[in-house]
């Protein structure tokens, strides 16, 4: 391990030596970005192995590597480089969306629908209620609630609570891939997290429009936004069905070079999503689900191919996510972050245990089900960006705190879930 760290330092040193020989190249991605992307990959791989040796999730290593090299700390990978490489992150999100959808099996959903539904409803209600209560309780310390009238204050607090209700399909899948877990805890968590993702986007749509209309005082605009977001949501589902049909035809008639096909599909869908305003992740999730559960073809070859890409995709996604974490902003609000994050964790713990007990789920689900619901990552971050962009009056300050809480959950959540899986005896790959 020390040798690998020394090699990484030598590589960075080598880059400094080459600096004066730099030849600016026009028309292609900055050569420096490419070099630093490689360094980021190697560092993430090394830190992932280190985390694994410490019996921690590898993705924590990827996050720490990104954080260490990113603009917040060492600054070796500056923000411009991350922007240059945003396509890679989109590719990662798309591939995981497709895989996540294909991992959601109708048979599993049917078998444990009672547990899944109860955990979903209890967890979301409890988290929403507790976060709303906590937010209102500590409102004097929250900059984005200052100076608001009671009505707008309530709706903005509700939006904040909804934002933090989101789980992380990426973290869940990354850990299930890493550990090879396929037991009741793994299946239940995956189903809850993926379904919650869809429900939260709907909730977010409503909460966002309410907050925006109450802050701006324009109900017409709110209806417009509501319809716009609903259209986006339904468009994503329709696009997902279309993509599912294309994937099915390919699996039926061609069935070759599946990894490459998946990558091309993601790029094409990403471009179409931008042009037609639908959600990349949701549409591919729906596509994966339909191919696995509805299409008259065997989806295993595609799922296997996607599994082959999973590890590199997770390394890219989490290393870049780590590099985007804002340490300074976190340090400025850390007491609030801890309070809200602990309140959220408490709500998840109580509600999911109660729900699992009522549903008479397996003991491991009752005991450790909550551990898989703490993590947050990409979806939550994207929603916080939407709030900051479209509701700048309160959104920018809200984003600072939300990102801090998401970073906390992104770090603590995977550790908890891995422990949960270990204790449940579902870890196949140690």
Choose one: 158-166, 267-275, 371-379, 396-404; the region binding other proteins (CB under 8 A): 267-275
Element (H, E) at 113: helix 113-137
> Whole-number minimum distance, CB 122 to other proteins, in Å?
35
Q: For helices 86-103 and 280-293, give the axis angle rounded to 10 degrees.
A: 30
> Residues 6 or more apart from 39 whose CB is under 8 A from it?
8, 11, 12, 15, 69, 76, 77
> Whole-number minimum distance, CB 32 to other proteins, in Å?
6
> Whole-number minimum distance, CB 430 to other proteins, in Å?
9
C-beta separation of 287 from 104 below 8 A: no
Q: Which is nearer to other proteins, 88 or 117 (CB)?
A: 88
- Nearest-10 Cα torsion for 76, 77, 80, 82: -170
> Whole-number minimum distance, CB 288 to other proteins, in Å?
18
Quick note: the x/- pattern for other proteins over 26-65, rule CB under 8 A, is: xxxx-xxxxxxxxx-xx-xx---x----------------
Q: Decide: is 11 part of the binding site for other proteins (CB under 8 A).
A: yes
Q: Decide: is 80 part of the binding site for other proteins (CB under 8 A).
A: no
Binding to other proteins in span 161-200, by CB under 8 A: 178, 180
- Residue 253 CB burial class (10 angstroms; 0-12, 13-18, ≥19): exposed
Quick note: the x/- pattern for other proteins over 391-430, rule CB under 8 A, is: --------------------------------------x-
Quick note: the x/- pattern for other proteins over 195-214, rule CB under 8 A, is: --------------------
Q: Decide: is 16 part of the binding site for other proteins (CB under 8 A).
A: no
What is the spatial distance between Cα 279 and Cα 250, in angstroms, rounded to a whole number?
23
> Whole-number minimum distance, CB 131 to other proteins, in Å?
37
Q: Which is nearer to other proteins, 181 or 196 (CB)?
A: 181
What is the spatial distance between Cα 48 and Cα 56, in angstroms, rounded to a whole number?
9
> Whole-number minimum distance, CB 269 to other proteins, in Å?
9
Q: Decide: is 358 part of the binding site for other proteins (CB under 8 A).
A: no
> Residues 6 or more apart from 300 whose CB is under 8 A from it?
none
C-beta separation of 170 from 197 below 8 A: no
Q: Which is nearer to other proteins, 116 or 269 (CB)?
A: 269
> Whole-number minimum distance, CB 43 to other proteins, in Å?
8
Give the CA angle between residues 41, 43, 49 to the nearest 5°: 105
What is the spatial distance between Cα 235 and Cα 348, in angstroms, rounded to a whole number?
31
- Residue selected from 3, 16, 140, 150 as contacting other proteins according to rule CB under 8 A: 3
Choose one: 10-18, 112-120, 135-143, 407-415; the region binding other proteins (CB under 8 A): 10-18
* Among 295, 270, 382, 355, CA closest to 101: 295
Choose one: 155-163, 226-234, 261-269, 396-404; the region binding other proteins (CB under 8 A): 261-269
CB atoms within 10 A of CB 361: 24
> Whole-number minimum distance, CB 139 to other proteins, in Å?
43
For the four alpha carbons of 34, 97, 225 and 381, in that order, the dihedral sign comes to: negative
Choose one: 303-311, 349-357, 369-377, 387-395; the region binding other proteins (CB under 8 A): 303-311
**Rg of the chain (C-alpha set):** 22
Percentages helix, strand, coil for the chain (3-state, rounded to 5) are 80, 0, 20
For the four alpha carbons of 351, 354, 357 and 362, in that order, the dihedral sign comes to: positive
Binding-site ranges for other proteins (CB under 8 A): 3-4, 6-8, 10-11, 14-15, 18-29, 31-39, 41-42, 44-45, 49, 84-88, 178, 180, 246, 253-254, 257, 259-260, 263-264, 267-268, 271-272, 275-276, 308, 310-312, 315, 429
């Amino acid at each position: 391990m020390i040798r690998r760290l020394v090699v990484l330092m030598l590589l960075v040193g080598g880059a400094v030596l080459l600096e004066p020989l730099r030849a600016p190249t026009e028309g292609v991605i900055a050569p420096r970005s490419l070099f630093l992307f490689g360094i980021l990959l190697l560092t993430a791989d090394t830190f992932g192995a280190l985390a694994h040796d410490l019996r921690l999730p590898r993705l924590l290593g990827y996050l720490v590597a990104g954080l260490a090299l990113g603009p917040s700390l060492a600054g070796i990978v500056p923000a411009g480089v991350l922007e240059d490489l945003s396509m890679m992150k989109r590719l990662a999100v798309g591939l995981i969306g497709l895989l996540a959808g294909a991992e959601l099996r109708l048979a599993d959903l049917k078998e444990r629908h009672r547990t899944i539904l109860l955990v979903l409803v209890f967890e979301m209600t409890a988290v929403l209620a507790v976060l709303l209560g906590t937010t209102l309780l500590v409102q004097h310390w929250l900059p984005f609630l200052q100076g608001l009238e009671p009505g707008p204050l309530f709706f903005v607090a509700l939006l904040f609570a909804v934002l933090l209700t989101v789980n992380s399909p990426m973290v869940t899948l990354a850990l299930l891939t890493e550990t090879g877990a396929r037991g009741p805890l793994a299946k239940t968590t995956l189903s809850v997290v993926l379904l919650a993702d869809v429900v939260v986007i709907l909730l977010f749509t409503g909460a966002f429009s309410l907050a925006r209309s109450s802050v701006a005082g324009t109900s017409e605009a709110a209806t417009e936004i509501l319809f716009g977001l609903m259209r986006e949501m339904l468009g994503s589902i329709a696009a997902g069905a279309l993509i599912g049909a294309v994937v099915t035809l390919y699996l039926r008639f061609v069935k070759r070079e599946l990894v490459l096909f998946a990558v091309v599909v993601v790029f094409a869908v990403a471009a179409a999503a931008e042009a037609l305003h639908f959600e990349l992740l949701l549409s591919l999730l729906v596509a994966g689900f339909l191919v696995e559960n509805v299409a008259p073809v065997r989806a295993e070859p595609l799922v296997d191919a996607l599994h082959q890409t999973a590890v590199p995709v997770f390394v890219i996604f989490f290393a870049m996510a780590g590099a985007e974490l804002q340490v300074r902003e976190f340090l400025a609000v850390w007491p609030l972050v801890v309070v809200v994050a602990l309140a959220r964790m408490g709500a998840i713990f109580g509600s999911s245990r109660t729900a699992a007990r009522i549903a008479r789920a397996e003991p491991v689900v009752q005991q450790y089900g909550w551990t898989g619901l703490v993590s947050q990552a990409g979806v939550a971050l994207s929603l916080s960006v939407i709030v900051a962009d479209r509701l700048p009056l309160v959104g920018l300050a809200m984003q600072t705190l939300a990102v801090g809480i998401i970073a906390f959950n992104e770090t603590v959540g995977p550790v908890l879930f891995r422990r949960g899986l270990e204790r449940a005896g579902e870890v196949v790959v140690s």
